[in-house]
């Protein structure tokens, strides 16, 4: 839970402050020769790996608690940043003159982006956990790689399709919006694929150490349930 929330907060607070651009030697279909993405996307997919491990080992109900913990942490961080930004600075402290504009740039995201981030995270992570839990029962615990990748495809797909249109539709061109959605979706799924061996190792060790390998055969899959089952 600590790792999940840490990655989530860092990706949403640090990452959006910087937009990266990488020139490709060749143009890609729908994306072009210039990759443009938020720096937070370099690390945000790690939160899905944490989610996969939690759901695979401990079950959907426990992952649900962690998702809500992450959601609450995002709300707290947003409220804290807004309070800090809007508190009056000490006029006799010269450093405040340069610090205040920097805080506003880094932590002063518009409410449109904040809402998009929260809704996309909430929906995408619950889709990811639900799909992984269901597919685990369907495959009888076999083919972990298939569960993690398929759940990430659907979860990250939902996340990208919610976040970017809510946050940037009307301010970006439609072509640019589609290009960023496609690139970030593909990149996030590729991170999951590359990290699959590590996921196998961690899941295997946890199952052995915890003597736990939960199957969600009688689980209440409502995201609003407080049940442990």
- Residue 109 has a pLDDT of 73
Give dist(CA 8, CA 10) in Å, integer: 6
pLDDT reported for residue 226? 81
Of the spans 62-71, 74-83, 85-94, 169-178, which averages the highest pLDDT? 62-71
Per-residue pLDDT, 208? 95
Q: What is the pLDDT of residue 58?
A: 95
* Closest C-alpha to 181, from 30, 45, 15, 39: 30
CA 7, 213, 218 angle in degrees (round to 5)? 100
Classify burial at 22, counting beta carbons within 10 Å of its beta carbon; exposed 0-12, middle 13-18, buried 19 or more: exposed
Domains of the chain, first to last: 2-210 (1.10.1760)
| 110/78 Cα distance (integer angstroms) | 11
Residues 6+ apart with CB under 8 A from 211: none
Angstrom CA distances, 149 to 63, 125, 190, stand at 17, 13, 9
- Check residues 27 and 51 and name the one with the higher pLDDT: 51
Predicted confidence at residue 39, as pLDDT, reads 75
What is the band of 174 on the pLDDT scale with cuts at 50, 70, 90? Answer: confident
pLDDT, position 114: 84
Contacts of 149 (CB under 8 A, 6+ apart): 189, 192, 193, 196
- pTM of the entire structure? 0.88
Confidence (pLDDT) at 17: 59
Residue 31 pLDDT greater than 70, yes or no: no
Helix (H) or strand (E) holding 198: helix 196-210
Range of weakest confidence among 116-125, 183-192, 199-208, 209-218: 183-192
Report the interhelical angle of 45-58 vs 60-86 (nearest 10°): 150
Closest CA to 51 of 40, 43, 62, 41: 62
Where does 139-173 have alpha helices with state H? 144-168
Residues 6 or more apart whose CB falls under 8 angstroms from that of 27 comprise: 33
> Across all residues in the chain, what is the average pLDDT?
88
Query: Is the confidence at residue 16, as pLDDT, over 70?
Result: no
């Amino acid at each position: 839970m600590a790792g999940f929330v840490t990655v989530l907060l860092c990706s949403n607070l640090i990452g959006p402050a910087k937009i990266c651009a990488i020139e490709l030697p060749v143009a890609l279909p729908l994306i072009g020769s210039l990759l443009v993405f938020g720096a937070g996307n370099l690390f945000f997919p790690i939160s899905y790996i944490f989610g996969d491990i939690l759901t695979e080992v401990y079950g959907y109900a426990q992952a649900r608690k962690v998702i809500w913990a992450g959601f609450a942490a995002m709300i707290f961080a947003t409220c804290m940043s807004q309070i800090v930004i809007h508190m009056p600075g000490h006029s006799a402290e010269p450093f405040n003159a340069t610090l205040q504009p920097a805080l506003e740039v880094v932590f002063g995201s518009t409410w449109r982006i904040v809402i998009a981030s929260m809704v996309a995270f909430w929906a995408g992570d619950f889709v990811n956990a639900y799909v992984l839990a269901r597919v685990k029962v369907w495959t009888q615990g076999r083919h972990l790689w298939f569960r993690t990748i398929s759940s990430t495809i659907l979860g990250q797909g939902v996340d990208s399709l919610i976040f970017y249109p809510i946050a940037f539709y009307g301010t970006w061109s439609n072509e640019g919006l589609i290009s960023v959605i496609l690139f970030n979706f593909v990149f996030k799924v590729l991170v999951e694929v590359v990290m699959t061996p590590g996921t196998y190792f961690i899941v295997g060790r946890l199952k052995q150490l915890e003597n736990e390998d939960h199957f969600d055969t009688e689980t209440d899959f409502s995201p609003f349930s407080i049940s442990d089952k």
